[in-house]
């Protein structure tokens, strides 16, 4: 399969979480063309078994690979922590694979903290991958992980802040006296402001999307796959596995404007 700097980047998540990573990609790498996949039919992944996550994420990765992408971005912590090894095994010699955990866990920002909190989906917390990886680089750190299962579904369903704030408060009341917090689910990146407000600026929010996209840009550039010139007439495509949910469309329009395409793709498992 012939790929070039002009080939698109495939990016996927269970739903809207990865849109924040896609937006950051547009900011840091404005010439890149991308195809997004949100598995809205099977969201939330955070409550699914490892087997389920592996099976479905592999389908999506293969779908994007078939679209002749030059790189795949797994913009989901639940998929990364449960299926990265399998996706890498199948595609690593064929295209570049990026994820939202590896660039973060080795970031030197951790040198400035003593104790951090991690909030994530049950599937991510259960894998224990964050703690294992961070401890490998920063053994001095005290890490408290907390599973926050209600958050991703209510974000995906577009609940307003008046309803979300009490839920955040309930969770984060158990996560005080920390220096920094890691939002280890891409959906939670939509709640940055609310979480910052809860801590009154006293707890640092680690800037995941910036760190992740800086790494993607660096690697694409090293591999001479970064698109340096503006391309025209190519609008990002957003696939969902149900007909496009209203809130998904709304978020896409807010983040990317009107010049986008929506498509539905339903996987056939038989
Ligand atoms: N956005 C996903 C993550 O980063 C998962 C949300 C979900 O489907 O549970 O973990």
Percent of the chain with pLDDT over 90: 93
Six-digit token pair at 232?
Answer: 């025209």
Domain boundaries, the chain: 9-100+210-264, 103-207
185 has catalytic annotation:
yes
Bridge-based pairing state of the strands 96-99 and 142-147:
unpaired
Tell me: pLDDT of 270 over 60. no
Average pLDDT over residues 73-77: 98
Protein residue whose Cα sits closest to atom 2 of ligand 1: 76
Q: Out of 1.10.730.10, 1.20.1440.230, 3.40.50.2300, 3.40.50.1860, select the CATH number for domain 103-207.
A: 3.40.50.1860
The residues that bridge with 11 in the sheet, in sequence order, are 36, 73
C-alpha of residue 153 to centroid of ligand 1, in Å:
9
Q: How far, in Å, are 78, 117, 149, 268 from residue 100 at the CA level?
A: 10, 17, 19, 28
C-alpha of residue 123 to centroid of ligand 1, in Å:
9
Atom of ligand 1 nearest to the CA of 79: 10
Looking at residue 13, its pLDDT comes to 98
pLDDT tens-digit readout, 96-111: 999 999 999 999 999 9
Binding pocket residue ranges, ligand 1, CB within 6 Å: 13-14, 17, 43-46, 76-78, 121, 124, 152, 185-187
Same fold, 9-100+210-264 and 103-207: yes
The one catalytic residue among 123, 185, 189, 220: 185
Q: Supply the CATH classification number for the domain 9-100+210-264.
A: 3.40.50.1860
Interacting residues of 222 by C-beta distance below 8 A, sequence separation 6+: none
Looking at residue 269, its pLDDT comes to 62
Interacting residues of 62 by C-beta distance below 8 A, sequence separation 6+: 90
Alpha carbons 75 and 18: distance in angstroms, whole number:
5
Confidence of residue 233 (pLDDT cuts 50, 70, 90): low
C-alpha of residue 76 to centroid of ligand 1, in Å:
5
Residue-averaged pLDDT of the chain: 95
C-alpha of residue 81 to centroid of ligand 1, in Å:
11
Quote the distance between the C-alpha of residue 237 and its chain's center. Answer: 17
Confidence of residue 172 (pLDDT cuts 50, 70, 90): very high
Average pLDDT over residues 78-93: 96
Atom of ligand 1 nearest to the CA of 43: 8
pTM of the model: 0.97
The one catalytic residue among 20, 43, 76, 172: 76
Looking at residue 110, its pLDDT comes to 97
Give the position of tokens 């807010």. 254
Average pLDDT over residues 113-134: 98
Element (H, E) at 16: none
Average pLDDT over residues 224-239: 87
227 has catalytic annotation:
no
Looking at residue 232, its pLDDT comes to 67
Average pLDDT over residues 224-250: 91
pLDDT tens-digit readout, 42-68: 999 999 999 999 999 999 999 999 999
């Amino acid at each position: 399969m012939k790929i070039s700097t002009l080939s698109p980047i495939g990016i996927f998540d269970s739903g809207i979480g990865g849109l924040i990573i896609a937006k950051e990609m547009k900011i840091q790498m404005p010439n890149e063309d991308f195809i997004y996949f949100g598995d809205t039919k099977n969201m939330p992944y955070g409550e699914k078994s490892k087997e389920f996550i592996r099976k479905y994420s592999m389908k999506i990765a293969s779908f994007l690979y078939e679209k002749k992408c030059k790189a795949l971005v797994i913009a989901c912590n639940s998929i990364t922590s449960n299926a990265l090894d399998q996706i890498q095994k199948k595609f690593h010699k064929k295209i570049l694979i990026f994820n939202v955990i590896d660039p973060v866990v080795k970031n030197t920002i951790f040198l400035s903290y003593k104790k951090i909190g991690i909030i994530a989906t049950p599937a991510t917390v259960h894998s224990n991958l964050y703690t294992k990886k961070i401890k490998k680089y920063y053994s001095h750190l005290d890490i408290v992980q907390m599973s926050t299962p209600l958050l991703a579904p209510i974000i995906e369903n577009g609940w307003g802040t008046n309803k979300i704030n009490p839920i955040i408060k309930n969770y984060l009341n158990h996560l005080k006296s920390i220096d920094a917090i890691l939002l280890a689910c891409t959906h939670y990146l939509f709640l940055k402001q609310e979480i910052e407000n809860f801590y009154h600026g006293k707890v640092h929010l680690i800037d995941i999307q910036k760190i992740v996209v800086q790494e993607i840009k660096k690697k694409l550039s090293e591999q001479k796959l970064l698109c340096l010139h503006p391309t025209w007439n190519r609008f990002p495509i957003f696939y969902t596995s149900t007909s496009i949910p209203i809130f998904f469309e709304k978020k896409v329009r807010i983040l990317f404007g009107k010049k986008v395409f929506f498509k539905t793709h339903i996987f056939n498992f038989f």
